[in-house]
Amino acid sequence: MENREIAIQCNNISKHFKGVYANKNINLTLYKGEILSILGENGSGKTTLMNMLSGIYQPEEGEIYINGELASIHSPKDAFTYGIGMVHQHFKLVEVFTALENIILGINDRRSVKEITASIKEITSKYGFEIDLNKKIYNMSVSEKQTVEIVKVLYRNANILILDEPTAVLTPQEIDKLFFVMEKMRDDGKSIIIITHKLNEVMRISDRITILRKGEYITTLNTNETNEKEITEFMVGRKIDLKLERLRILAGPPVLEARNLRILKDDGTVAIENLNFFLRGGQILGVAGIAGCGQKELCEAIVGLRPYEGVITHKGESINGFTPQMIKDIGIRMSFIPEDRLGLGLAPDLSITDNLLLKTYDEKKGILVDRKSARNDAVQLIERYKVVTPSTETPVKNLSGGNVQKILVGREIGNDPNVIITAYPVRGLDINSSYMIYDILNEEKSKNTAILFVGEDLDVLMTFCDKIMVLCHGVNMGIVHTKNTTKEEIGLMMTGSLDLTKDNKKIFGFADDSLVTDEKWEELLREDQIRRKK
Amino acid sequence: MKEKTEKLRTPLFTISKRTDFSFKRGLLIRAIMISASLLVALIISLIIIKKPVGQILSALFRGAFLMPDKLLLDTCLLLGFGIAVVPAFRMKYWNMGANGQVLVSALSSVVLMFYLGEWGSRSGLNNVLLILLMFASSIISSVIWAVIPAIFKAKFGTNETLFTLMMNYIAIALVSYINFVMTKGTKESVGIVNSLHHTGWFPTLFGNDYMFSIVIIVLMTLFVTFYMTKTKHGFEAIVCGDSIKTAKYVGMNTNKITIRTLILSGILTGIIGFLYASAINHTVTEATGGLGFTAVLLSWLSNFNPLVMALVCFFLAFLTNGTSKVSSQFRLGSNDLSNVIIGLIFFSILVSEFFIRYKIRFNKRIKRQEVSE
Amino acid sequence: MLVTFLAGAISMGVIYLYACLGETIIEKVGNLNLGIPGIMCLGALGGAIGINLYYAIFGEVTIGILIVFFGILFSMVFAGLGGLIYSFLTVSLQANQNVTGLALTTFGVGLMKFIGSNMNVSRFPQASLSFKNGINFGNPEGFLGTIYKGFCEIFLSHGILVYLSFALAVIIFIVVYKTRTGLYIRAIGESPQTADSQGIDVRGYKYICIIVGSGIAGLGGLYYVFDRSGGTTFVEAAIEAFGWMSVALVIFSMWKPFRGALGSILFGGLYILPQFLPISNTQLKIFAILPYVVTVIVLIFTSIFDRKDSQPPKSLGINYFREER
């Protein structure tokens, strides 16, 4: 192994954002003619590292050698000249162009269209791509678009390909096809870095595996000398003791119950498939899963911002197809703390006062808004959560991330909710702010509020939640009690290696003490189908 | 080797969004830029007029304050237009159609005034009824004009900028058509309607023709300021403009809010149109709605602050009246010096906005040295 | 009758066509320039200045080709300067496009009227002859002769600027749709982020397209003053209205130069149609709304039927700002 030619050598790469290390002393070696998997949980620094290789970021410390030469990559164009091509998770394609037009975009190729087409055809037939060069991108399936991206990179003579979660959006058949192509490219001497979370795929396609955790380099393994269990252990690390506490109280009856949920993403692909779950009062249900496997869509559907198939009930009453306004109107106090705080949930240009007003402005009768009491609320909130701000009238976009989040959480908790839906509430926050948020949620739990907590840090999920629902690409892998499970088990479920719903007779996500009878469920589901047909 | 050095080039400076805003700094930048634009305007006028600076400036000031009530009216009319576009703008709805809205509303009033003038002159009661009728029809026609593009925007997402622009020209064509109809195809304009018996004319206040209009527009300004800052409806419009997603998140019906806000805009321009017809011009021509674009500019660049808007309006009215005197005194043959200056001022404000909102940092050339090692 | 009508429609439509072509190029890189009316006025003003300059240099000697050259050159330079102001503000300084455009219109219209009304216009009708010179097509007899003459009157009786405009439509079509440069331009209009990531100089292209597009749009003003109106009307509001019509025409043409050419003839036809109909002056006026109504209908239809091929460039109206890396 050691005497093989090296394509990329990274030595002690570091990069930090706003004082937090995204990458710290990362080492990475990529040989010619191999497929290397990079594994790590969310926030482990994979994407940052790849962005440095493709010229989007520059490392602050450390060197990158490409084919043995010290390289300095300042732009995607530089990356191309070094033969590095990256296929991003979100495709960079012009929708109204044909595949051909997208492929030749930005290259000064003086040859005629015929010759160019011929040389693209050469590439496609060499690696076995199926592609219609004259098809417009907007008419293409996700897999076809991905093919265009890969061909685009190859046409730029890339010898090093970086594929960022290429399988996330593909069907099993399409994945087979992709892997076939990848193997052909490897046999042709090209080097490929693949980022994926599905362990079975890692085992199947890669020659070696590099594992990152929390911005740091952990180890590199040869695929044929390891197994899924060992990899998972490296990935999740040893269990860390957090100063977090799981509040032990007796959970109440189900508050929110959902069955047969099917939710689509914005681009029409499936986000959530056939999901059942329920939330009890005084209980925190954690949701674990790799980023982007349906958590955001699930939250939006529950609070009425996204259409869905299936049925959601609140205390036995159907709230199917309700808008946020309707949910509010029937007296449900549902709070939603979304992941994109400034985009959804807060109005960035408005003041703290006005942002608090958003939730309460139409509670009082009359045509006027009551800024006075909102200002009082703002003063209280600032005091209680120690928000750092010049005044109550400062636009929230001028505050730091932690303070923005405190305002959102403070507002959402402020109107005494009985259901809280929250996604990554501590993302981007410092330790103290994070613990403050956890404390607030625990306090709410003690008031018998039902809480859905979408998280990314397994340690937190394990210590903080009562139960964890694990999603893998929108499919429920099982719901486990945190006291009866291990991080490894959850890791395996997240990567799709373990599916508890398959070998267990019990149907996951059905409450034993459901407030809705089975007959009623069936009726509701039928109604839902009729409603959707209209 | 040459390719290598080029590859490692760092840009001369980087531009990033500013997060700290200082009021004083903003004021200073704007003041500098506006002075610069006025200087440029002065130089252009010197070149064209070829007279000493003192003469030009004195003509400018004398012209501006020759008729104080006219100056006040012009200020208020501009302010009225500006205020009328504010609600829609605050929700980032690009209503370019204030011109058209004012035109159709003035038109409908003039038509009523023209055809019912005789009936209205028969008794005082008739006259009052006529004025009320004119008022109602002004509002209704203006609202229709404002709401049509809004409905399409809400239902299908039709581009409102271009739609409302077109609505202006449809209104202009209607005005010239109806003028022809009223004059039986003989004249471009119907002229001042009911100039003998003043039927349908708004009463004067304090013996001044313009006073009533000025008072109404001031009230209108106060109302809109109140509406935007104190009422739920105004609040909803602002939230929609800031983040449509957040508006939906808290359960607002954004389509309803769009249409409602444009109805308000229609009512406001309807009032202005009515004032044009009944109190100011007593006629309608294509020029009646001419302030709409300036209004769009000034309300946007004043950041919708009514006080700033009022100041800017006064300044613009001052320039318009002053330069018109300059034009006539030096026989320039055109009143458009003011538009040149206004254009320059707007450019300069746009430039200053950049320096207020963005930070420019010059990069030190460290990277290059590293390479040469 | 029909012959005169069609010839008139083409001749009228050329005013729109220039501005439409110019604006099409500008919108293709994602900028909605509402300054077109002002730019056309600047073009007219520049042309006028250029022609006065010609007479100042050459005196009474009439060299047709040189007069036209001076007109075109100065017209494009002035209009291009307007475009430079617009692109500096929107591309480099990130100013709002609508606001900048309106300010440019206010400025351009004002400047033309202000300077124009203090200008010596006595030579313009004389200069206009050089612009209007059509091709002499003989006078054959008989039925075929009539058809030939009709054909010639419709298509060959115009001045040089008319042919130039249609030639430009062809050239712009080829550049935008058949060349690599055009591909880059369209990519920038659709997705500046993608274009940027492929190493395309987004700002450079935007500047060039906006300035060139403005220069072309300015020729519409030049054409109106020195060909269509024979040098007799210079300072008047009509150009502004033509400018807005042209912005509408861009939508009507769905950002395609050939459709723009056909659309300009249609719009021109609609504009002069009333003169050819047996209707009173009064009814004539109502016809003026037709082009606008047609445009509105097109606008609504394109938004209802979400056909990908007839949509505006996706980034239209949105400035591109690459965040600091």
- pLDDT band for A201, please (50, 70, 90 cuts): confident
Q: Using the beta-carbon criterion (under 8 Å), do A101 and C311 form an inter-chain contact? A: no
Q: Using the beta-carbon criterion (under 8 Å), do C194 and A94 form an inter-chain contact? A: yes
| pLDDT of A1 above 60 | no
Q: Does B10 touch chain A (CB under 8 A)?
A: yes
Mean pLDDT of chain A: 85
Q: Does A105 touch chain C (CB under 8 A)?
A: yes
According to DSSP, the β-strands at A317-318 and A308-314 are: antiparallel
State the average pLDDT over residues B291-298: 86
Same domain, A153 and A205: yes
Token readout for A178 is: 């992709």
Asked whether residue A360 is assigned to any structural domain, the reply reads no
Same domain, A270 and A166: no
**Chains touching B by CB (3 or more pairs below 8 Å):** A, C
| pLDDT of A447 above 50 | yes
User: Could you give the residue ranges of the DSSP H alpha helices within chain B?
Assistant: 2-7, 23-49, 53-65, 68-90, 98-115, 117-121, 124-156, 160-182, 211-230, 232-242, 244-249, 254-275, 292-301, 306-329, 337-357, 366-372
Same domain, A194 and A272: no
Asked whether residue A477 is assigned to any structural domain, the reply reads yes
Q: Using the beta-carbon criterion (under 8 Å), do B170 and C235 form an inter-chain contact? A: no
CA angle A319, A322, A323 (to 5 degrees): 150
The CATH number of the structural domain formed by C2-324 is: 1.10.3470
Decide which of A236, A265, A285 is a domain's last residue.
Answer: A236
Q: Using the beta-carbon criterion (under 8 Å), do A344 and B246 form an inter-chain contact? A: yes
Boundaries of domain holding B93 = 70-314
Instruction: Report the SS3 class of residue A469.
Output: strand
User: Cβ distance C151 to C137 under 8 Å?
Assistant: no
Query: Rounded CA gap, B147 and B151, in Å?
Result: 6
Among B8, B245, B249, the residue with its CB nearest the CB of A74 is B8
Q: Using the beta-carbon criterion (under 8 Å), do C199 and A106 form an inter-chain contact? A: yes
Q: How far is B353 from chain C (nearest CA, A)?
A: 8
Residues in chain B closer than 8 A to A325 (CB atoms): 251-253
Query: Rounded CA gap, B266 and B131, in Å?
Result: 19
Token readout for A182 is: 């990848």
Same domain, A198 and A309: no
So what's the pLDDT on residue B187? 74
Q: Does B357 touch chain A (CB under 8 A)?
A: no
Q: Which of A21-30, A411-420, C44-53 has the highest mean pLDDT?
A: C44-53
Q: Using the beta-carbon criterion (under 8 Å), do C193 and A77 form an inter-chain contact? A: no
Query: Rounded CA gap, B272 and A463, in Å?
Result: 65
| Chains A–B, number of C-beta pairs less than 8 Å apart | 75
So what's the pLDDT on residue A241? 60
Asked whether residue A359 is assigned to any structural domain, the reply reads no
Query: Rounded CA gap, A77 and A156, in Å?
Result: 10
So what's the pLDDT on residue A18? 62
Residue pLDDT, tens place only, A125-137: 888 888 889 999 9
- pLDDT band for B149, please (50, 70, 90 cuts): very high
Residues in chain B closer than 8 A to A359 (CB atoms): 250
Q: Using the beta-carbon criterion (under 8 Å), do C289 and B173 form an inter-chain contact? A: yes
Nearest in space to C316 (alpha carbons), one of C117, C28, C25: C28
State the average pLDDT over residues B120-143: 89
Q: Where are the beta strands (DSSP E) in A233-386?
A: 254-264, 270-280, 283-288, 308-314, 317-318, 334-337
Token readout for B212 is: 């009533």
Nearest in space to B173 (alpha carbons), one of C286, C189, A126: C286
Which domain CATH number covers B188? 1.10.3470
Decide which of A236, A270, A301 is a domain's last residue.
Answer: A236
Q: How far is A326 from chain B (nearest CA, A)?
A: 8
**Greatest Cα pair distance in chain C:** 75
Backbone angles phi, psi at A322, to 5 degrees: -75, 145
Decide which of A171, A205, A236 is a domain's last residue.
Answer: A236
CA angle C97, C99, C100 (to 5 degrees): 65
Q: Using the beta-carbon criterion (under 8 Å), do C282 and B343 form an inter-chain contact? A: no
So what's the pLDDT on residue B371? 39
Among A325, A349, A369, the residue with its CB nearest the CB of B242 is A349
Q: Using the beta-carbon criterion (under 8 Å), do A328 and B371 form an inter-chain contact? A: no
Burial class (CB in 10 A: 0-12, 13-18, 19+), B172: buried
Provide the 10 A C-beta neighbour count for residue A16: 14
Residues in chain B closer than 8 A to C16 (CB atoms): none
Q: Which residues pair with A502 in a beta bridge?
A: none
Which domain CATH number covers A135? 3.40.50.300
Instruction: Report the SS3 class of residue A350.
Output: coil
Q: Using the beta-carbon criterion (under 8 Å), do B346 and C103 form an inter-chain contact? A: yes
Among C183, C308, C314, the residue with its CB nearest the CB of A105 is C183
Asked whether residue A406 is assigned to any structural domain, the reply reads no
- pLDDT band for B19, please (50, 70, 90 cuts): low
Same domain, A304 and A170: no
Q: Which residues pair with A336 in a beta bridge?
A: A421
So what's the pLDDT on residue A500? 82
Burial class (CB in 10 A: 0-12, 13-18, 19+), B7: middle
Considering only CB atoms, which residues of chain A are within 8 Å of chain B? 72, 74, 78, 81, 303, 305, 323-325, 327-328, 336, 338, 342-350, 354, 357-359, 361-362, 367-369, 371, 398
* Secondary structure, 3-state, A212-255: EECCEEEEEEEHHHCCHHHHHHHHHCCCCCCCCCCCCCCCCCEE
Q: Using the beta-carbon criterion (under 8 Å), do C198 and A92 form an inter-chain contact? A: yes
Q: Regarding predicted confidence, which is higher, B23 or B321?
A: B321
Among A92, A104, A136, the residue with its CB nearest the CB of C197 is A92
Query: Rounded CA gap, A185 and A190, in Å?
Result: 6
User: Which residue bears the tokens 């976009």?
Assistant: A397
| pLDDT of B70 above 90 | no
CA angle A121, A125, A131 (to 5 degrees): 65
User: Cβ distance B94 to B87 under 8 Å?
Assistant: no
Q: Using the beta-carbon criterion (under 8 Å), do C241 and B296 form an inter-chain contact? A: no
So what's the pLDDT on residue C136? 61
Same domain, A450 and A484: yes
So what's the pLDDT on residue B364? 56
Residues in chain A closer than 8 A to C195 (CB atoms): 94, 105-106
Region of B83 (left: φ > 0; alpha: ψ -120 to 50; beta: rest) is alpha
Give all strands of the β-sheet with A270-280 in edge-to-edge order.
Answer: A270-280, A254-264, A308-314, A317-318
Q: Regarding predicted confidence, which is higher, B362 or C6?
A: C6
List C-alpha distances in Å: C112 to B43, B340, C51, C214. 16, 9, 15, 16
Report CA dihedral (B241, B242, B245, B248) to the nearest 10 degrees. -60
Residue pLDDT, tens place only, C155-191: 777 788 888 999 999 999 999 998 889 999 999 999 9
So what's the pLDDT on residue C324? 42
Among C110, C113, C251, the residue with its CB nearest the CB of B162 is C251
Query: Rounded CA gap, A309 and A303, in Å?
Result: 14
Same domain, A225 and A163: yes
Nearest in space to A102 (alpha carbons), one of B88, B116, B149, C180: C180
Q: Does A96 touch chain C (CB under 8 A)?
A: yes
Count of domains for chain A:
2
So what's the pLDDT on residue B14? 65
Q: How far is B311 from chain A (nearest CA, A)?
A: 24
Q: How far is C82 from chain B (nearest CA, A)?
A: 12
Same domain, A277 and A315: yes
| pLDDT of A377 above 70 | yes
Asked whether residue B126 is assigned to any structural domain, the reply reads yes
List C-alpha distances in Å: C243 to B165, C33, C260, C273, C318. 11, 11, 14, 20, 22
Q: Using the beta-carbon criterion (under 8 Å), do A95 and C186 form an inter-chain contact? A: no
Residues in chain C closer than 8 A to A94 (CB atoms): 186-187, 190-191, 194-195
Same domain, A294 and A428: yes
Residues in chain C closer than 8 A to A76 (CB atoms): 197-199
Same domain, A199 and A305: no
What's the ipTM? Answer: 0.86
**Greatest Cα pair distance in chain B:** 98
Boundaries of domain holding A517 = 254-333+416-533
Chain A residue at shortest CA distance from B233:
A367
Count of domains for chain B:
1
Q: Which parts of chain C sit beneath pLDDT 50?
A: 324-325
Asked whether residue B141 is assigned to any structural domain, the reply reads yes
Asked whether residue A358 is assigned to any structural domain, the reply reads no
Same domain, A36 and A85: yes
Distance of CA B187 to the CA centre of its chain: 29
Q: How far is C126 from chain B (nearest CA, A)?
A: 23
Token readout for B93 is: 């709805």
Asked whether residue A364 is assigned to any structural domain, the reply reads no
Q: How far is B78 from chain C (nearest CA, A)?
A: 15
Same domain, A40 and A177: yes
Report CA dihedral (B26, B32, B37, B38) to the nearest 10 degrees. 120
Q: Using the beta-carbon criterion (under 8 Å), do C183 and A93 form an inter-chain contact? A: no
Q: Using the beta-carbon criterion (under 8 Å), do B7 and A78 form an inter-chain contact? A: yes
Residue pLDDT, tens place only, B240-254: 988 888 888 888 888
Residues in chain A closer than 8 A to C198 (CB atoms): 76-77, 92, 105-107
**Chains touching A by CB (3 or more pairs below 8 Å):** B, C
According to DSSP, the β-strands at A308-314 and A254-264 are: antiparallel
B interface test, pick of A61, A64, A108, A367 with most B CB neighbours within 10 Å:
A367
Query: Rounded CA gap, B359 and C112, in Å?
Result: 36
Q: Regarding predicted confidence, which is higher, A366 or A105?
A: A105
Q: Does B207 touch chain C (CB under 8 A)?
A: no
What DSSP string describes B85-119? HHHHHHTT----THHHHHHHHHHHHHHHHHHSHHH
- pLDDT band for B7, please (50, 70, 90 cuts): very low
User: Cβ distance C176 to C182 under 8 Å?
Assistant: yes
Query: Rounded CA gap, B221 and A124, in Å?
Result: 66
So what's the pLDDT on residue A469? 92
Token readout for A505 is: 């007779």
Residue pLDDT, tens place only, B32-47: 888 898 898 888 888 8
Among C184, C308, C325, the residue with its CB nearest the CB of A138 is C308
User: Which residue bears the tokens 């599905």?
Assistant: A198
So what's the pLDDT on residue B367? 44
State the average pLDDT over residues A261-283: 86
User: Cβ distance C37 to C76 under 8 Å?
Assistant: no
| Chains B–C, number of C-beta pairs less than 8 Å apart | 168
